[in-house]
């Protein structure tokens, strides 16, 4: 039977999935919004179906249209990519009920891990270290105050259904807590349609490190090492690398084991990422599990030599994992830069427009995942990522040099990008030393503004 | 601009079709029945669970699908709990109308109801009421002897217990298979309502899509307050019949709830989602202090 996959996404990840499908001999169906009719994923899929207007709500987020497109083209699976409907439990349960395979974990697992308070409880049972905080949802101000006073300030109030760095309030004192608690609940209700919040100790300037997981339908789970995603601006990742330079090998080992324990505890299938934060003493804590392929997956692919999207598809179509933990070796160092259409001078404002000329770098150890081309018009409706530039070299030092060279040759004419900003960071002595945490970019920008 | 993509694609097609002889076999997926409903108005597919949760209103275009009598009552009463009454009233075939009872048992099968009227005692916002609803999925909610008897019994029960009465109508009219016996129900229900009214009790009649014929001409329009659900058709004979009879063009919006509100036939129009709140408010306003 010919497998046929609908790709419920756009941009570089849609293209990435189409390429993996083609290599595996799987037929592909792209869906697109009116704004994306000239996008590469539309051109390169075997079939393409327009599913609505430019706004995401009318197209990529419209469950019924995505599912009808899959059914009417005779697909037997849907790959959600990242973002959009990828972690939407309801969408996944409808896909399952329609008899389609979902390239990702089951709706049941997504439901368990998607709710942060519930995920914490599971992690606790699986003996993962978690940041001190409330056991589940906090309903009242009094309850919240009691918990916060016990664990000590600063603390965070987090929306139970939040994500992407939104719905978090940091509180430094009791008086401030009284003022902000109700407001945070209201904001959570407005942003996520759910006012439930929970409380956690706030760890200042941590490193953000995540472990890549693969699980199959036969109970096998492997971990593919970590990614350091501490280079963030407003909780949006900018640069990712693997392995993490500052991680002690013992901590790395126990983090890997912890991630596998969690995945096994929920009978996790397909690709997923267990996110941890690491404090300045090297202690790590579980924060959440992402139940999808991630933007930064290529750095793991580079150091392990494993094609994660192909593995995702094989797992979804019922194959057993082709590797075991002992067979997974990491090799060299990989760094990814996210090239975005944004104006650094104007507070990182998105800068859509038409690309007049385009030159990509190339050569040994350089990979570019991108959907842009000369003449392509970057639509204003979606996220501003244009390309992922990934380098792979034997050592971190060589990888940084390769990245500098590649950024020098990454030329986009017609729209404003963050290439120069990334180039500057690649020369920052602290970054080169590997001495950075999640507040790094903020500090760099402040210094820049002060002269 | 697009041209170079098309050129490339057609070249690849030639290669794939003639040299590689790639054959794409279409796979057919079986979707379980009843997972989706297609909106009759905007043609959007609606996930069936969504439609149920939204009281059978299309979430895209606000089109009103029919609501069964039981779900209708559940949607307005407290906790959806109805103490059902008069379950021993059964339909007979007084005129020996051919195939009538077979038809009834078919409808009983498909709707899981005994006849087109579901009724009993419940409370709305804490106020006890006698409540009933006609089911348009059961022979178009038509009124035969059994339906008429149940309506009458409910009214009499309300009078006896001094309860306010709420009836949702959805009907094509009197049931023709029972002929004159059906028509008798108009007088019978109306008479029962007079006793209810003499007892100074409140009767709220809700006219839903469609309320026509003998039902519209009897208990449905005798409410102390007549409410129409948004987008309902309300009238005696249907627009097509009237048009043929009088041989004239009918005015725009003829027999819609909005038209009937303007002509004073109904007192207010209420959306399905606001029905419970509105009825609750009216009951509270008319509650007798004991």
The predicted structure's pLDDT at residue A408: 96
Q: Does A98 touch chain B (CB under 8 A)?
A: yes
The predicted structure's pLDDT at residue B10: 86
Q: Are A304 and A442 part of one and the same domain?
A: yes
- Contacts (Cβ under 8 Å, ≥6 apart) of A292: A80, A81, A82, A86, A87, A104, A271, A272
Q: Does B171 reside within a domain?
A: yes
CA-to-CA dists, residue B35 to B38, B46, B59, angstroms: 10, 9, 16
B289: pLDDT strictly greater than 80: no
Q: Does B23 reside within a domain?
A: no
DSSP calls for A348-365: TEE--EE--EEE---STT
Q: Per the confidence metrics, is the pTM higher than 0.80?
A: no
The predicted structure's pLDDT at residue B135: 95
Give me the residue label for tokens 């005015």. Answer: B251
End-of-domain residue from the set B46, B65, B84: B65
Q: Are A428 and A393 part of one and the same domain?
A: yes
Judge: B27–A4 Cβ closer than 8 Å, yes or no. Answer: yes
Q: Are A299 and A151 part of one and the same domain?
A: no
Q: Does B41 reside within a domain?
A: yes
Q: How far apart are CA B4 and CA A432, in angstroms?
A: 43
Q: How far apart are CA A360 and CA A370, in angstroms?
A: 10
Nearest to A309, CA basis, from A8, A41, A83, A19: A19
Judge: B25–A1 Cβ closer than 8 Å, yes or no. Answer: yes
Q: Are B55 and B100 part of one and the same domain?
A: no
Q: Are B177 and B48 part of one and the same domain?
A: no
Quick: pLDDT tens for B146-190. Answer: 999 999 999 999 999 999 999 999 999 999 999 999 999 999 999
Q: Are A73 and A215 part of one and the same domain?
A: no
Judge: B27–A94 Cβ closer than 8 Å, yes or no. Answer: no
Q: Does A211 reside within a domain?
A: yes
Strand partners, A370: A387
Q: How far apart are CA B257 and CA B262, in angstroms?
A: 9
Q: How far apart are CA A360 and CA A366, in angstroms?
A: 10
Q: Does A184 reside within a domain?
A: yes
Judge: A38–B1 Cβ closer than 8 Å, yes or no. Answer: yes
The predicted structure's pLDDT at residue B287: 87
- How many folded domains does chain A comprise? 3
Choose, from A196, A227, A292, A338, the residue flagged as catalytic. A292
End-of-domain residue from the set A147, A169, A201: A201
Q: Does A63 touch chain B (CB under 8 A)?
A: yes
pLDDT category at A165 given cuts 50, 70, 90 is low
Give A215→chain B minimum CA distance, Å.
Answer: 26
For residue A252, indicate whether it is catalytic: no
Quick: pLDDT tens for A96-155. Answer: 988 899 999 999 999 999 887 789 889 999 999 998 888 778 888 888 899 998 888 899
Q: Does A116 reside within a domain?
A: no
Q: Are B118 and B106 part of one and the same domain?
A: yes
Give me the residue label for tokens 């408010």. Answer: B281
CATH of the domain at A354: 3.30.470.20
Q: Are B48 and B136 part of one and the same domain?
A: no
Q: Does A394 touch chain B (CB under 8 A)?
A: no
Q: Are B45 and B162 part of one and the same domain?
A: no
Q: Does A78 touch chain B (CB under 8 A)?
A: no
Q: Are B129 and B218 part of one and the same domain?
A: yes
Q: Does B9 reside within a domain?
A: no
Q: Does A25 touch chain B (CB under 8 A)?
A: no
pLDDT above 90: percentage of residues in chain B: 70
- How many folded domains does chain B comprise? 2
Give A329→chain B minimum CA distance, Å.
Answer: 37
Q: Does A119 reside within a domain?
A: no
Which phi and psi (to 5°) does residue B229 adopt?
-80, 145
Judge: A74–B28 Cβ closer than 8 Å, yes or no. Answer: yes
Indicate the DSSP class of residue B85. Answer: -
The predicted structure's pLDDT at residue A50: 95
Quick: pLDDT tens for A54-102. Answer: 999 999 999 989 998 998 888 999 999 999 999 999 999 999 988 899 9
Give B64→chain A minimum CA distance, Å.
Answer: 19
The predicted structure's pLDDT at residue A401: 97
End-of-domain residue from the set A175, A201, A227: A201
The parent domain of residue A187 ranges over: 132-201
On whether the CB atoms of residues A297 and A307 are closer than 8 A, the answer is no
Q: Are A338 and A425 part of one and the same domain?
A: yes
Q: Are B191 and B268 part of one and the same domain?
A: yes
The parent domain of residue B243 ranges over: 67-285
Q: Does A103 reside within a domain?
A: no
- Contacts (Cβ under 8 Å, ≥6 apart) of B113: B68, B69, B70, B107, B135, B138
Q: What is the mean pLDDT of residues B226-255?
A: 89
Choose the closest CB to B27 out of A67, A74, A97: A74
Give me the residue label for tokens 């505890």. Answer: A265
- Cβ atoms within 10 Å of B159's Cβ, excluding its own: 20
Asked if residue A154 has a cis previous peptide bond (ω within 30° of 0), the answer is yes
Q: Does A8 touch chain B (CB under 8 A)?
A: no
Q: Are B114 and B184 part of one and the same domain?
A: yes
Q: Are A22 and A52 part of one and the same domain?
A: yes
Closest chain B residue to the Cα of A75, Cα to Cα: B27
């Amino acid at each position: 039977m010919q497998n046929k996959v609908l790709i419920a996404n756009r941009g570089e990840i849609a293209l990435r999935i189409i390429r993996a499908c083609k290599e595996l001999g799987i037929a592909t169906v792209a869906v697109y919004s009116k704004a994306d009719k000239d996008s590469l994923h539309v051109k390169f899929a075997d079939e393409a179906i327009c599913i609505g207007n430019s706004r995401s709500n009318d197209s990529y987020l419209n469950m019924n249209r995505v599912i009808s497109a899959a059914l009417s083209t005779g697909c037997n699976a849907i790959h959600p990519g990242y973002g959009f409907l990828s972690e939407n439990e309801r969408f996944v349960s409808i896909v399952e009920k329609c008899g389609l395979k979902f390239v990702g974990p089951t709706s049941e697992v997504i439901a368990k891990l998607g709710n942060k308070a519930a995920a914490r409880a599971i992690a606790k049972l699986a003996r993962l270290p978690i940041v001190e905080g409330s056991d589940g949802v906090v309903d009242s101000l009094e309850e919240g105050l009691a918990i916060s006073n016990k664990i000590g300030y600063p603390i965070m109030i987090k929306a139970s259904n939040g994500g992407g760095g939104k719905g978090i309030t940091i509180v430094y004192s009791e008086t401030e807590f009284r003022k902000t608690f109700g407001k945070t609940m209201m904001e959570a209700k407005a942003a996520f349609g759910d006012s439930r919040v929970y409380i956690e100790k706030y760890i200042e300037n941590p490193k953000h490190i995540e472990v890549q997981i693969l699980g199959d339908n036969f109970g096998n789970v492997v971990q593919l090492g970590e990614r350091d995603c501490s280079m963030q601006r407003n909780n949006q990742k900018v640069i990712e690398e693997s392995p993490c330079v500052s991680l002690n090998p013992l901590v790395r080992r126990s983090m890997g084991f912890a991630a596998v324990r969690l995945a096994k505890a929920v009978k996790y299938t397909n690709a997923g990422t267990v996110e941890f934060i690491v404090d300045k003493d090297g202690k790590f804590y579980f924060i959440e599990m992402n139940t999808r392929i991630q933007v930064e997956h290529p750095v793991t692919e580079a150091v392990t030599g494993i094609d994660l999207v192909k593995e995702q598809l094989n797992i979804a179509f019922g194959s057993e994992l082709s590797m075991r933990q002992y067979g997974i070796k990491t090799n060299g160092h990989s760094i990814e830069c996210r090239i975005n259409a944004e104006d650094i001078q104007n507070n990182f404002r998105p800068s859509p427009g038409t690309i007049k000329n385009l030159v990509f770098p190339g050569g040994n150890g350089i990979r570019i995942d991108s959907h842009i081309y000369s003449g392509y018009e970057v639509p204003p409706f979606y996220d501003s990522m244009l390309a992922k530039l990934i380098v792979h070299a034997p050592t971190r030092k060589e990888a940084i040099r390769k990245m500098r060279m590649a950024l020098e040759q990454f030329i986009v004419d017609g729209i404003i990008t963050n290439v120069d900003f990334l180039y500057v960071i690649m020369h920052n002595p602290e970054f080169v030393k590997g001495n950075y945490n999640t507040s790094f970019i903020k500090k760099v920008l402040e210094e820049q503004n002060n002269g | 601009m697009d041209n170079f993509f098309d050129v490339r694609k057609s070249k690849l097609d030639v290669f794939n079709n003639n040299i590689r002889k790639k054959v794409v076999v279409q796979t057919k997926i079986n979707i379980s029945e009843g997972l989706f409903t297609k909106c009759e108005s905007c043609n959007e597919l609606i996930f069936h669970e969504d439609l149920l949760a939204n009281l059978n209103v299309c979430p895209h275009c606000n089109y009103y699908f029919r609501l069964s009598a039981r779900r209708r009552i559940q949607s307005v009463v407290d906790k959806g709990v109805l103490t059902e009454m008069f379950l021993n009233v059964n339909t007979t075939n007084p005129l020996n109308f051919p195939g009538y009872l077979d038809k009834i048992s078919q409808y009983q099968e498909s709707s899981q109801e005994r006849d087109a009227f579901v009724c009993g005692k419940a409370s709305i916002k804490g106020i006890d009421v006698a409540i009933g609803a006609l089911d348009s999925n059961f022979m178009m909610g038509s009124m035969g002897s059994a339906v008429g008897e149940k309506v009458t019994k409910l009214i009499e029960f309300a009078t006896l217990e001094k309860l306010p009465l709420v009836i949702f109508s959805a009907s094509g009219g009197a049931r023709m298979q029972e002929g004159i016996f059906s028509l008798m129900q108009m007088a019978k229900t109306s008479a029962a309502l007079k006793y209810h009214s003499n007892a100074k009790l409140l009767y709220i009649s809700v006219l839903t899509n469609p309320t026509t014929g003998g039902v519209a001409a009897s208990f449905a329009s005798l409410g102390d307050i007549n409410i129409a659900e948004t987008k309902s058709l309300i009238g005696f004979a249907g627009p097509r019949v009237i048009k043929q009879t009088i041989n004239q063009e009918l005015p725009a919006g003829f027999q819609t709830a909005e038209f009937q509100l303007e002509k004073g036939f109904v007192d207010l129009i209420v959306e399905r989602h606001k029905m419970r709140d509105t009825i609750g408010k009216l009951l509270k306003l008319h509650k007798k202090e004991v």
